[in-house]
């Protein structure tokens, strides 16, 4: 993508009681997300979901892996009351902004999407076994400000990692390893070359917070970075 007046950007393709060691073990070397009861979710609230890959897997910010992810996103972005609205692909983790009709729908929708992604990546990498390190983490977004901050964080996460010197490169004005090419909430005029040939991997938002509410705090700028 590019702002008006600049060149077009290409789209890259025991038996009770406490004892030491008791309890469910994490999937990885250490627990990533506490196994607590998750908060209830009302349909009017979106959620920010984060999931990490297991260690020693190939990075996701490669063309073949990203194409595989986009296909999985497109197939699972709108199913049974679960909707994937935005995403960001980093080398070893994924961010999603999603909507769901309730906690059960959210859990089933995320798990279904992650199973779809894991199967597709295992086919690509000619491997078997778990792909994700542990349970996903979710944060319910209850206010317009929270939603705007989440959008800025997700769409700008690659730039944040790049600025911190991590192994992420974002040469374009937006990060094309996110749903930014399909985002209509930038202040700047954005054009993406070749986008029409790519199957849209996200779906439209239904909640007031994601369609109208967050915009009351101002549209995002391509120059904004997460705090």
Chain centroid to CA 224: 18
- Burial group, residue 127, by CB count within 10 angstroms (0-12, 13-18, 19+): exposed
> Pairing mode, if any, of strands 137-140 and 78-79?
unpaired
pLDDT digit of tens for each residue in the chain (227 aa)?
545 454 455 666 544 444 444 444 444 444 454 545 567 889 999 999 999 999 999 999 999 999 999 999 999 999 999 999 999 999 999 999 999 999 999 999 999 999 999 999 999 999 999 999 988 999 999 999 999 999 999 999 988 777 777 778 887 889 999 999 999 999 999 888 889 899 999 999 999 999 999 999 999 999 988 87
The residues facing 220 across adjacent strands are 186
CA gap 84, 170 in Å, rounded: 23
Indicate the DSSP class of residue 25.
Answer: P
Strand (E) or helix (H) holding 99: strand 93-100
For the full predicted model, state whether its pTM sits above 0.75.
Answer: yes
Domain range summary for the chain, segments of one domain joined by +: 2-8+40-217
- CATH (one of 3.40.50.720, 3.30.70.1290, 3.40.50.300, 2.30.42.10) for 2-8+40-217: 3.30.70.1290
DSSP 38-84: PPP--TT--EEEEEEBPTTPPPS-SHHHHHHHHHHHHHHSEETTEEE
């Amino acid at each position: 993508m590019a702002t008006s007046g600049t060149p077009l950007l290409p789209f890259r393709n025991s038996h009770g009681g406490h004892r030491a060691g008791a309890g469910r073990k994490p999937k990885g070397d250490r627990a990533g997300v506490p196994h607590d009861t998750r908060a209830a979710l009302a349909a009017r609230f979106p959620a920010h979901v984060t999931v990490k890959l297991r260690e020693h897997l190939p990075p996701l910010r490669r063309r073949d892996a990203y194409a595989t992810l986009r296909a999985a996103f497109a197939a699972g972005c709108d199913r049974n009351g679960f909707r994937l609205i935005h995403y960001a692909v980093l080398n070893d983790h994924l961010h999603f902004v999603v909507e769901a009709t309730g906690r059960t729908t959210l859990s089933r929708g995320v798990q279904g999407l992650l199973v779809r992604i894991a199967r597709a990546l295992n086919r690509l990498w000619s491997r078997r076994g778990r792909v994700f390190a542990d349970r996903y983490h979710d944060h319910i977004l209850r206010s317009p400000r929270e939603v705007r901050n989440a959008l800025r964080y997700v769409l700008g996460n690659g730039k944040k990692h790049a600025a911190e010197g991590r192994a992420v490169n974002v040469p374009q004005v937006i990060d094309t390893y996110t749903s930014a090419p399909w985002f209509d909430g930038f202040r700047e005029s954005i054009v993406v070359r070749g986008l029409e040939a790519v199957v849209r991997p996200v779906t439209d938002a239904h909640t007031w917070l994601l369609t109208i509410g967050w915009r009351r705090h101002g549209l995002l700028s391509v120059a904004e970075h997460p705090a």
